[in-house]
Structures are given as structure tokens and as C-alpha cells.
């Protein structure tokens, strides 16, 4: 190979774009599909090598790093020293069971998170066979031509071959957060990475402008691949609530250990109990009261919530968002594509010649325009000032690119087929200046076509008839149409002179597009309002259009609209006052979004905010729950967001709120079940010990109950479905403590009832003259039945448990009930297990009594809850 070509492969920044194209055997039209497939086979997919997490062995060993396990291991050592082999065996079995279960559960939670992350695989637009196609970034090969615009993430290392106002943020490579400008000119051979202006690096973000880049390296061959960085930090499976409980559980464990040590001393020195029995009892107390399983079950609950959200098309990028989204009290949403379908059709046209209606639906370029007239110049502008392409397959037309531009192409096709010209220059659309300009060379010579927001384009057209067209645009917008103005200017140069556009354009006409509201969004807005959540629309569109759509969607107050200009006149304090009463904000800029989030937060609201552009990132980060659009959103917005909507649909936000509330409820249920259960078990034993009474349960039995209920009942609540009425409640307060007075009361009440019931049954059995072992078996089964009854109670913390649905339960609930019942029958009636646990067969009548007692306990706490709910009103 020629020397400079080899050098262009290793140092593309030092050679011209053309040389690089030659070196990579590619052209301005990109590769052919078959050549790309060959290169993919040779180079492999464009993916960074997996950063491997902890190995399985390490992950298993980590399960033993846990206060509970330390206590158990110490206990195993002591019992072994005393040659109590059965105890040692049981304890070691409990240790292994805990470790295996923790390992499996954690593995499932991690796998769920990994699967979710893969749903966010980036896409890229490339040229194949001269056509623009969007594909999975993993399919990109060296030699491909990639098309980029502001907000895109660079999918591979690229040599820029065409650039317009291009800048990229390269912090992940260089640590420099200020965007650097890029262009096509080669730089010195030995320029450092940050100074290689004609290069775009994989993983960096395009912050402005547009570009075409030639892929020079993919996957592990890219700069970022070489330093092996990116994504190395495996996300922690935690949220504020789980972290808080983790902390709580840890300190509670230490408290319990200290108390257990004191009990041991008390029993030995004051109670003069034999050390061996006493030791086992104290261990049993510690094990039954330490809530070490709690954080693990909460993690599973989160993972299940993340999966449930993903099924509803809401992808959680940061776990804390799952809690935040459940507590939002206001949702700020954009309009196009979220509340509306973003399936556009041109319906009306107004030109100096007259008004026209356009028939036809979808993107097919067929349909009558009435009355007949000459719309040729308008159609040329619509077709040439356009980046989209239409595609037909089996009579179905679809758009590649912006749907609004697709609709313009369809309209142009209805006027005149085959409008073509060579593009010389362009000013890309930017939501800040709200227009786009394209300079082409065609049969009519060089012409710049401009399209954009009417007030912006009219300003560029001088002042003739300005007011008239403003009124016309206003009237179209009031009808709910999205309005664009088109204009043109003959050009002599081959570059667009931005300043000459101002005042130098000839107005061509107005185009009105229909973008119907999504029917499901209407229902979702109603659902949110019932759930005490305000919905506000923040759009870049015209005030008239925004108000019309807001009314169709059912926002509370659609007719008071504040525009970006209005917002500029308010200072932050005034805005904080105004913001509460207004539901529609039009012609806003991304900076306005940030101010609005802040103003709403100043009112104590918890804000969810949607966004799609690069400039929305600060608002998304500031919001309590930042939500990016999965389809039309830029990579920059997705990276800043907590949540990504796979379908861009407002209804998905409502679904996410619902799931978020469910997850929070379930976390609360897990806590409300575990803490009283632990307290109850511990109280039973402590009371017996301190009162010098015979133990109602042996130490081994307590270990058993703790193990079997922990892996069944304790986990079942993680799978609870949404409670009825979840979306009829107002949002919870963000600062509401989880360990509320109500919970403390519930812990105390349940612990006392456990104590009374277990001791009651134990004394009753002894009274009947049963041997101690049988009385203890009765007590153990009572404890388990109470825990099951408590589970059924906890399932409905907000409503009544005495409905058919509540009794019917779920598959998970019944499965665990069946498993635990079978296990209890086994340890009560199977001789080998009786030998291990020291149990004796319970007579049928007593068995029924135990179940009846469970039912009575359930009725008692249920009535108590109804009284409490009644008092709350």
C-alpha cells in the first residue's frame, strides 16, 4: 500500500478527508451493504469489551460478609467446641442456605439490571449504498460514513469529512468539559488527542452542529476502548430508601448483638442457667431479631420494579429514579410526540395566491389539493429545505428522519414529483433560532430556502404584509395546527450568508400540519390528575397550537399560556408565584425549562420533566425525575435522564408513576412485615428467658422458623402487584420518614400479639399435660401461622384485606403458603426431621385451633387498621 495511505490509517487526523476515504476503501456514499457485512465479520461488532463484574466465586464469598453470618459462624464454633453436633449442623445448614439464597437473588437482580441497560443500546445513522439508514451502533464498521447532529453520541472513532458549526464535548477522554470545535482540516501528525480537530472520538457527545464522519476505528480499537474506560463503574443496586434501611439494619444489628451479650451475662451470672443452653438461646434471639435479610429483599423488590417498568416501556437509567418517579407531584411534558402522535400531515396551505386544503393521509405523496393553484415554489422549498427521506414498502410510506419534514416531502410530492437539486450549504435547525436554511444549486440557479416558526421567518422577510401573515398564522394555530412559514432568496455565492438572510427573504407561504393527540395520553392525563399530580405542557411550539392541543388533551387550565418572552420578563420570585396557575408554556427555550423546574421545586413540588435535545440536559438533571425520549431523544438527553421512555408516550410516564408508587409501597410492606416479625420472635424468647420460664421454642426451632419464613414469606411481598386505588391517592411527601410513628406502633402491637398468642398456646398445651417437646411444637407452628396471617394483612396497607381479590391473593403468595405449609408438616410429622428439630406430632384438633388463632389475629389487626384508616378520613 502507498505510504501515505498506511499513514492515513494510523494517523487520520494528519491527512485530508479524501486520503482517509481512499485508505479505508470507502467513498462519500459510504459502503455497500455486502461490503459492510464482510467488514463486520472481519472486525467484529462495534462494542467495547465487557467490563467483567466480580467473578461468581467472589460474589458467592461476599455473601458471607454479613453480621448475621458472623454470628452464626461464631455460634457454630462454640457449639462444635461443646460437641453439640446437631446444633452445629443446623447452624451450618442455615449459613449455607442464607449464602446460596443471597447469591441466587443477587444474581437475578444483577441480570435484570444488565438486561435493562441493553435496552438502551445506542443507534446511529450511517450511509449504506448511498442511502441513510439507522442501525444499531454495534453494526458499524471501519469505512462507514456516519451522519451526526447535535445531541448525538459519537458511535466510533471518526475522521470528520464534512462539518457545520461542529463542536463536541470530550470530557470522558480528556476530562475537559468545555466543548471543542471541530472541522475537516488536517492537523499536525503528533497533535495530542484533544487537539485533533478533524477527529470525533467514540463515546463523546456532539453538542452543536452537524457532521459526516468516516469510521476509522471501532470497538476495542477506539481511543475509549484502548483505555478500557466507560461503564466500568457497575451501578449500585440502591436507592435512598434502601440505603437508609441498610444503615438502619446495620446499627440495629450491633444493638442486638450488644443486647444479646448482656442477656448472656445476665442469664449466666444472675439466672445461673447452664451455659450451653443459654448460649444457643441467645444466639437464636440474635438471629431472629437481626433484620439482615431486609436490604437484600428490598434490592429484589427494586429489581422487580425495574423490570415491571421496562415492560411498560419505561427504562430506568438510575435506580433512585424509581422512588422519585413514584413521588412526583407535577409532570412537565413536551408536546410533540409525547402528548401528540408525531405522525404529521400537511392539511392546509396559505400563500399570497390564496388558501388551499390538502387531502390524503399518512406519508404517501398522493392526495388532491383544492382549489387548483400554482404551489410549485412552495413545494420546492418544502422538499429542498429538508433532511428527511420517504420510503415505500408494499404501498406503505414511512419517514426516515423528522416526521414533520416527512409530511412536507409528502406534500411536495402531491404538488410535483421529483424535485431535486444539489445541496451546497445549510444552517441546521436549532430549537433556539427555530428555523432551518438550505442552499441548493438547481434548474433555477442557486437558491436558499428557509423554513421555520412563522414569527421568525416573517422577521427575515422584511415588513411587507407582516401583520397580515401573523394573523393568518395565529388563526391556523388556534385550530390546533402546527404552523411553519417558508421563504426563499436567490443566491450568488456557494455559502449561506447568515446576516444577508435577515430582511432579505421572499415570503412563500404558510403550511399547517395536523399532529393528532394520542388518545391514551388523554386517559393518562386524567389518571394523573386523579392521582393528585399536575400536568404542565412545556413546548417549543406556537402558543395558539399549544393551547388548542392542551384543551384536547384535557389539561386543567389550557387557555392561560405563558410564552418564553413572557417568562423572560419575570424574575425568579415572580415566576415561582406565576408557575402554579399556568399549565401551558409555549415557544420556550431549554433555559426556560430549567427555570420552570426550579420555580416548581421552590413551591415544594417534586418535578418530573421530559426532554429530548442536548440543551435539555441541565433541566433533566435538575428535575427530581428527568425523563428522556427513547425514539426522538438525543443521546445527550438520555445520558442526563433518570428514566427513558422507549415509546416517547406520555401514557408511559403515568404507568411509570404507578409502578414507582407500587415499588415504594412494596418496600414499605417488606419493612412492615419484617420488623414486627423479628420483634415478635425475639420478644417470645427474651420474655421466657428473663421470666425464667421454659422456652416456648427451642433455639434450633427458632433458627428453622427464621430460615423458612425468611426465604418464603419475606420475599413474597417483593412481587406484590399494584394495590387498587394506588392512582387515586395523592403523591406521598418526599420527606415522609419510612420509620413513621404508625410503623413503630404496628411493630409494638404485632410483637405483643405474637407474644400473647405463642405463650397462650404454649401454656394451653402444657396445661393439657402435653410433654414439653409437643408444647414447643405447638408454639412453633403457632408462630408460623401468625406470620402467614400477618403477610396477608400487610398485602393491603391502604385498603381493606377482606375483599375477594385480597383473599384470592397472587400466585406467588399462594406458592409460598403451600411451600411453608408443606415444610411445617414435614418438620412436625416426619420422624427424621423430628429428630433434628425435637418436635412431636401435633394432634389434629390442636392444629385446627392454631389456624383459628391465626384467623383471630388477622381479624384483630385488620379491625385495628380499619379504625386507624377511618380516623384518618
Residues lying near ligand ATP in the complex (CB under 6 A) are found at 334-336, 402, 404-405, 429, 431, 434-436, 451-453, 484, 539-542
For helices 650-691 and 772-794, the axis angle rounded to 10 degrees is 160
- 200: three-class secondary structure by DSSP: strand
For helices 650-691 and 240-265, the axis angle rounded to 10 degrees is 0
Q: Which three cell numbers stand for residue 331?
A: 409532570
CA 264 to CA 273: how far, in whole Å?
A: 9
Alpha-carbon dihedral sign for residues 458, 464, 467, 471: negative
Question: In the complex, what is the shortest distance from the CB of residue 537 to ligand ATP, in angstroms, rounded to a whole number?
Answer: 7
Task: Name the DSSP class of 462.
Answer: -
- 762: three-class secondary structure by DSSP: helix
Q: Which is nearer to ligand ATP, 329 or 539 (CB)?
A: 539
Task: Name the DSSP class of 842.
Answer: P
Task: Name the DSSP class of 717.
Answer: G
Helices (H), 438-553: 454-459, 466-478, 498-501, 519-530, 543-553
CA atoms within 13 A on the CB side of 763: 9
For helices 275-289 and 650-691, the axis angle rounded to 10 degrees is 160
3-state secondary structure 571-596: CHHHHHHHHHHCCEEECCCHHHHHHH
Question: Which of 171, 187, 169, 188 is closest to 179 using CA atoms?
Answer: 169
The torsion of the CA quartet 797, 801, 804, 809, rounded to 10 degrees, works out to 60
Residue identified by cell 397580515 is 468
Cα–Cα distance list, 825 to 283, 489, 839 (Å) = 25, 89, 11
611: left (phi over 0), alpha (psi -120 to 50) or beta: beta
Helix, strand, coil shares of the chain, percent, nearest 5, are 55, 15, 30
Give the residue closest to ligand ATP by C-beta: 540
| Cis before 371 (ω within 30) | yes
How many Cβ atoms are within 10 Å of 522's Cβ, its own excluded? 16
Alpha-carbon dihedral sign for residues 830, 835, 837, 839: positive
- 191: three-class secondary structure by DSSP: coil
CA 792 to CA 449: how far, in whole Å?
A: 68
| DSSP string across 622-634 | HSSEEEEESSS--
How many Cβ atoms are within 10 Å of 567's Cβ, its own excluded? 22
CA 761 to CA 758: how far, in whole Å?
A: 5
CA 641 to CA 635: how far, in whole Å?
A: 10
Residue identified by cell 410513628 is 741
334 is catalytic: yes
φ, ψ at 87 (rounded to 5°): -55, -50
User: Cβ(197)–Cβ(182) under 8 Å?
Assistant: yes
Q: How far apart are the first and last CA of the chain?
A: 84
Alpha-carbon dihedral sign for residues 593, 599, 601, 605: negative
Among 144, 334, 387, 583, the active-site one is 334
CA 550 to CA 214: how far, in whole Å?
A: 44
Which distant-in-sequence residues (6+ apart) come within 8 Å of 831 by Cβ? none
User: Cβ(857)–Cβ(787) under 8 Å?
Assistant: no
Alpha-carbon dihedral sign for residues 698, 701, 703, 705: negative
User: Cβ(578)–Cβ(621) under 8 Å?
Assistant: no
Q: Which three cell numbers stand for residue 289?
A: 431479631
Residue identified by cell 425464667 is 692
Which residues are part of the catalytic machinery?
Answer: 334
Amino acid at each position: 500500500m502507498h505510504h501515505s495511505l498506511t499513514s492515513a490509517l494510523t494517523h487520520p487526523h494528519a491527512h485530508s478527508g479524501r486520503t482517509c476515504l481512499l485508505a479505508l476503501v470507502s467513498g462519500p456514499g459510504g459502503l455497500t451493504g455486502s461490503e459492510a457485512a464482510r467488514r463486520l465479520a472481519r472486525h467484529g461488532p462495534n462494542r467495547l469489551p465487557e467490563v467483567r463484574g466480580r467473578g461468581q466465586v467472589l460474589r458467592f464469598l461476599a455473601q458471607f460478609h454479613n453480621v448475621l453470618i458472623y454470628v452464626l459462624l461464631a455460634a457454630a464454633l462454640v457449639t462444635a467446641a461443646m460437641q453439640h453436633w446437631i446444633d452445629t449442623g443446623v447452624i451450618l445448614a442455615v449459613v449455607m442456605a442464607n449464602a446460596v439464597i443471597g447469591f441466587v437473588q443477587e444474581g437475578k437482580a444483577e441480570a435484570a439490571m444488565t438486561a435493562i441497560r441493553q435496552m438502551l443500546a445506542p443507534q446511529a445513522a450511517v450511509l449504506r449504498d448511498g442511502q441513510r439508514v439507522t442501525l444499531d451502533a454495534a453494526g458499524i464498521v471501519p469505512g462507514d460514513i456516519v451522519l451526526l447532529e447535535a445531541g448525538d453520541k459519537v458511535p466510533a472513532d471518526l475522521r470528520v469529512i464534512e462539518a457545520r458549526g461542529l463542536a463536541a464535548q470530550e470530557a470522558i477522554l480528556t476530562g475537559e468539559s468545555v466543548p471543542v470545535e471541530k472541522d475537516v482540516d488536517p492537523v499536525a501528525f503528533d497533535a495530542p488527542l484533544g487537539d485533533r480537530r478533524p477527529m470525533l472520538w467514540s463515546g463523546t457527545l456532539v453538542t452543536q452542529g452537524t457532521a459526516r464522519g468516516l469510521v476509522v476505528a471501532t470497538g476495542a480499537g477506539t481511543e475509549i476502548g484502548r483505555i478500557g474506560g466507560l461503564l466500568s463503574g457497575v451501578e449500585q443496586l440502591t436507592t435512598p430508601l434502601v440505603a437508609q434501611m441498610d444503615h438502619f439494619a446495620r446499627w440495629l444489628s450491633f444493638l442486638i448483638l450488644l443486647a444479646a451479650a448482656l442477656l448472656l451475662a445476665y442469664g449466666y451470672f444472675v439466672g445461673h442457667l447452664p451455659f450451653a443452653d443459654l448460649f444457643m438461646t441467645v444466639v437464636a434471639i440474635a438471629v431472629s431479631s437481626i433484620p439482615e435479610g431486609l436490604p437484600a429483599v428490598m434490592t429484589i423488590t427494586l429489581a422487580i420494579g425495574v423490570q415491571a417498568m421496562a415492560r411498560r416501556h419505561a427504562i430506568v437509567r438510575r435506580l433512585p429514579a424509581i422512588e422519585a418517579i413514584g413521588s412526583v407531584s407535577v409532570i412537565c411534558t413536551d408536546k410533540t410526540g409525547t402528548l401528540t402522535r408525531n405522525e404529521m400531515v400537511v392539511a392546509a396551505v396559505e400563500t399570497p395566491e390564496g388558501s388551499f386544503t390538502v387531502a390524503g393521509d399518512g406519508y404517501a405523496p398522493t392526495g388532491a389539493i383544492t382549489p387548483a393553484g400554482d404551489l410549485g415554489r412552495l413545494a420546492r422549498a418544502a422538499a429542498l429545505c429538508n433532511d428527511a427521506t420517504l420510503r415505500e414498502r408494499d404501498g406503505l410510506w414511512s419517514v426516515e428522519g423528522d416526521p414533520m419534514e416527512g409530511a412536507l416531502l409528502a406534500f411536495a410530492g402531491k404538488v410535483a414529483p421529483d424535485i431535486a437539486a444539489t445541496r451546497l450549504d445549510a444552517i441546521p435547525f436549532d430549537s433556539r433560532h427555530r428555523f432551518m436554511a438550505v442552499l441548493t444549486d438547481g434548474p433555477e440557479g442557486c437558491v436558499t430556502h428557509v423554513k421555520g416558526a412563522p414569527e421568525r421567518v416573517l422577521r427575515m422577510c422584511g415588513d411587507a404584509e407582516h401583520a397580515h401573515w401573523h394573523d393568518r398564522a395565529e388563526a391556523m394555530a388556534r385550530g390546533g395546527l402546527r404552523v411553519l412559514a417558508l421563504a426563499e432568496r436567490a443566491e450568488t455565492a456557494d455559502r449561506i450568508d447568515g446576516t444577508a438572510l435577515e430582511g432579505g427573504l421572499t415570503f412563500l407561504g404558510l403550511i399547517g400540519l395536523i399532529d393528532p393527540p394520542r388518545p391514551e395520553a388523554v386517559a393518562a392525563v386524567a389518571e394523573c390528575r386523579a392521582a393528585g399530580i399536575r400536568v404542565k405542557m412545556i413546548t417549543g411550539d406556537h402558543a395558539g397550537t399549544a393551547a388548542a392541543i392542551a384543551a384536547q388533551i384535557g389539561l386543567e387550565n389550557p387557555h392561560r399560556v405563558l410564552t418564553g418572552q413572557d417568562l423572560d420578563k419575570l424574575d425568579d420570585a415572580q415566576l415561582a408565584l406565576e408557575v402554579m396557575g399556568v399549565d401551558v408554556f409555549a415557544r420556550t427555550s431549554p433555559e426556560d425549562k430549567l427555570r420552570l423546574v426550579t420555580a416548581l421545586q421552590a413551591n415544594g413540588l417534586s418535578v418530573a420533566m421530559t426532554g429530548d435535545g442536548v440543551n435539555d440536559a441541565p433541566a433533566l438533571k435538575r428535575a427530581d425525575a428527568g425523563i428522556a425520549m427513547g425514539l426522538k431523544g438525543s443521546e445527550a438527553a438520555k445520558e442526563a435522564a433518570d428514566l427513558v421512555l422507549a415509546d416517547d408516550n406520555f401514557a408511559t410516564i403515568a404507568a411509570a408513576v404507578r409502578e414507582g408508587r407500587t415499588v415504594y409501597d412494596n418496600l414499605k410492606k417488606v419493612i412492615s412485615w419484617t420488623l414486627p416479625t423479628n420483634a415478635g420472635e425475639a420478644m417470645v424468647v427474651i420474655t421466657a428467658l428473663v421470666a425464667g420460664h421454659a422456652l416456648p421454642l427451642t433455639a434450633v426451632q427458632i433458627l428453622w422458623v427464621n430460615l423458612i419464613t425468611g426465604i418464603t414469606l419475606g420475599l413474597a411481598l417483593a412481587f406484590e402487584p399494584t394495590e387498587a386505588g394506588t392512582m387515586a391517592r395523592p403523591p406521598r411527601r418526599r420527606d415522609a420518614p419510612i420509620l413513621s410513628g404508625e410503623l413503630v406502633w404496628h411493630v409494638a402491637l404485632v410483637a405483643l400479639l405474637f407474644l400473647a398468642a405463642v405463650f397462650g398456646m404454649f401454656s394451653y398445651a402444657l396445661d393439657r399435660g402435653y410433654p414439653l417437646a409437643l408444647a414447643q411444637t405447638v408454639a412453633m407452628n403457632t408462630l408460623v401461622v401468625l406470620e402467614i396471617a400477618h403477610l396477608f394483612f400487610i398485602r393491603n396497607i391502604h385498603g381493606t384485606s377482606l375483599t375477594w381479590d385480597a383473599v384470592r391473593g397472587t400466585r406467588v403468595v399462594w406458592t409460598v403458603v403451600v411451600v411453608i405449609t408443606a415444610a411445617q408438616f414435614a418438620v412436625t410429622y416426619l420422624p427424621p426431621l423430628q429428630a433434628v428439630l425435637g418436635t412431636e406430632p401435633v394432634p389434629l384438633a390442636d392444629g385446627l385451633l392454631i389456624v383459628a388463632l391465626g384467623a383471630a389475629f388477622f381479624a384483630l389487626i385488620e379491625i385495628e387498621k380499619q379504625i386507624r384508616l377511618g380516623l384518618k378520613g
